[in-house]
Structure 1
């Protein structure tokens, strides 16, 4: 078995220091990418929220049209297809 010397320990510590330095650089590159992805996800969530709002308004308009034309009793209930009653 190889003898553990101060020189060997010093070389191992230098190698570890280099590896940790490389990891720090990688993390610095990943952080802005994660922030960008977070911004994209928030934007997509806002878009989906807006789409649900538009669909809700269209549904309300359709209900008013059906009531005015007395088609309400003929329309089939869509509660099974409506995820947000």
Structure 2
């Protein structure tokens, strides 16, 4: 430690501070990207739910059509 000076320690600390700043910026960017992904995932889940809902309605309609055409017996 005899050769260690305050100037050398200061330079090392400045480099560490720059690195931490870069990491902080990268983490913030990742947070924004994750929030965007979360938003898109929520939208996809809602779309899938809507598709299932529409398919259920179409299935009901097909069932009624089959009964009217006499292709199946009516369910009681």
User: Normalising TM by the smaller chain, what interval?
Assistant: 0.7 to 0.9
Name structure 2 gaps, 5 residues minimum.
none
- The alpha-carbon distance between structure 1 residues 4 and 69, as it changes in their structure 2 partners (threshold 3 A), is farther
The residue number in structure 1 matching 2:45 is 45
Structure 1 residue runs of 4 or more that deviate by more than 6 Å after TM superposition? none
- 3-state SS of paired residue (2:31): helix
| TM-score, with length taken from structure 2 | 0.75
- 3-state SS of paired residue (1:5): coil
Q: 1 or 2, which has the higher helix percentage?
A: 2
- The alpha-carbon distance between structure 1 residues 39 and 29, as it changes in their structure 2 partners (threshold 3 A), is same
Q: Could you tell me how far apart the structure 2 residues matched to 1:59 and 1:34 are? A: 37
The residue number in structure 1 matching 2:68 is 68
- 1:44-81 per-residue CA deviation (whole Å, 9 max, x = no partner) reads 110011001101110111011111211026xxxxxxxx
| TM-score, with length taken from structure 1 | 0.68
Q: Could you tell me how far apart the structure 2 residues matched to 1:4 and 1:38 are? A: 52
Name structure 1 gaps, 5 residues minimum.
74-85
Q: Could you tell me how far apart the structure 1 residues matched to 2:23 and 2:54 are? A: 46
Q: Could you tell me how far apart the structure 2 residues matched to 1:25 and 1:4 are? A: 34
RMSD: 2.2
